[in-house]
Amino acid sequence: MKTFMVLGLAAVLSGANLHAQSSSDPLAANRSPMGKLQSYQSCDLQSLERYLLNSLNHEAEGVVVSALREVAKIKLAQPACTSEPIASQVNELVLTGATPAIRYKAYLTSIVLSAPLSFAAEGEAEFQTDELFFTALARKLEVLALRDER
């Protein structure tokens, strides 16, 4: 049942691009399967909170990573939007995630939650996979960390 809810959530949040990908548009193959940032601006985090928390607690790594991406994308689209239970669960995953990949992606998500405006360009970009999204966040964090502030 939880997996069904997660898949439903992913379909809702990524639905903006489904029509484009299934159309006869020759450029549709190059479009990202993830929803554009504009589609996240209308998300109601409070109504999605239960589903996201279930996904963040799921035993399947892919489900957790997708939920982390969704949390980050919502925050990038709506910087003022907050959810203490989601932020707490993300921080818990930083420490106790089942794999190093989950812990690292949770860390990146926690940074986005605390400083979404620093990742505005990454929020606007389209990515084909979760891995490319988190790689972009990691690269931006590296730039921010190594930037000379003199």
Which pLDDT tens digit goes with each residue over 24-42?
A: 333 333 334 455 666 677 6
What pLDDT sits at residue 13? Answer: 46
Q: Between 45 and 131, where is the model more confident?
A: 131
Q: What proportion of the chain, given as a percentage, has pLDDT over 90?
A: 59
Q: What is the 3-state secondary structure (H, E, C) of the chain?
A: CHHHHHHHHHHHHHHHHHHHHHCCCCCHHHCCCCCCHHHHHCCCHHHHHHHHHHHHCCCCHHHHHHHHHHHHHHHHHCCCCCCHHHHHHHHHHHHHCCCHHHHHHHHHHHHHHHCHHHHHHHHHCCCCCHHHHHHHHHHHHHHHHHCCCC
